[in-house]
Amino acid sequence: MSRAKVEKAETSSQMSVNRQAVIGIFLMVSGTVCFASKSIFIKWAYELGATPEATLWFRQFFATPLFFIIFMMYRSKLPVKPQKGEIVKACLAGLLCFFLSPLFDFTGLHYVSAIVERILIMSYPIFVLIISAFSRKQMISILDLTVILVVNAGLFLAIGGWDTSLLNANILGATLILLSSITYAMYLFLSGRLVKKIGGIRMNLYGMLTASLAMVIYLGIKQASLESVNLLSFRPSVYGVFFIIAVVATVIPFILMLEGIKRIGAERGAMISMSGPVLTIVFGAFFLGEHLSMIQWAGCLLVLITISIVEWKKVKTLNVK
């Protein structure tokens, strides 16, 4: 082969790589934008009269069949069929990720702004640090302890700090959302190796199926205890928002990020997804007209910067490996 042909082939190959990178970045950015909009759509649903349990139920109702379709589309590319023990672990992990964590989150979001909710949810890495330290029976390092203290200080400021009226208004919702963050951290700890073994798509499907069953049981218990469970008396527009939450803010970002990571790698994908909380803050201010006090903004920035540094260092470590 002549030198000119070799150079032409190399140029063509490089252009193909660059094109894939551009597509991958576009997919990751689009997925991050869609996922960041979730809290905004949930708040809109609440403004239209929806309840947290109805919002979560219809999210599962619309999303679960779509995850099954995705599973069938990618089935041939997934790892070998998992063992029974792995399926049980995946279902238990899914119970944390798709039922308990969002139940706490959706309920807490009823009481706090989307901006504060996103900052509180973003605290999950510090709980992963704590859970990991306990599992290894090791002392938390001075650096990690400093991060935990700084993030906790930021969270305190974000929910009102020394402004007792703000603090009292946010404390219930903040507690529920922190429980959601802790539950999600437990899911990440349990599912870390399991995702690599059985695949993220299969993991999501098992999780959604288990969560849907758990949600039916939860609603049945509420109904049996004579608590009103309202699922079918909302305006048509509310069900439209439920559908958007399930499709635009749950299923579509999963597919976009999955395909984006395939093209640009997990490290670059993680860097892009770190912009999600910032986008939620922008969306909350622009679409919902949410306003925070100066002390709350200070707390949000403190958490945002600290967690971003921690996650960035994780990405750099993965890149070196």
* pLDDT tens digits in sequence order for the chain, 321 residues long: 555 554 555 555 555 557 888 888 899 999 999 999 999 999 999 999 999 999 999 999 999 999 999 999 888 887 778 888 889 999 999 999 999 999 999 999 999 999 999 999 989 888 988 888 888 888 888 888 898 899 999 999 999 888 888 888 899 999 999 999 999 999 988 887 788 788 888 888 999 999 999 999 999 998 888 777 889 889 999 999 999 999 999 999 999 988 888 888 777 777 788 888 889 999 999 999 998 889 999 999 999 999 888 877 776 665 555
CA distance 261 to 268: 8
CA distance 177 to 220: 24
CA distance 302 to 172: 22
Residue with tokens 């048509």: 236
CB atoms within 10 A of CB 148: 18
Range of the domain at 242: 3-320
Scored b (16 or more CB within 10 A) or e, 93-117 reads bbbbbbbbbbbbbbbbbbbbbbbbb
Closest CA to 97 of 66, 147, 56: 56
User: Looking at the 3D structure of the chain, how many domains does it have?
Assistant: 1
Residues in the chain: 321
Give long-range contacts, CB 8 A cutoff, 24+ apart: 314-317.
314/270, 315/267, 315/270, 315/271
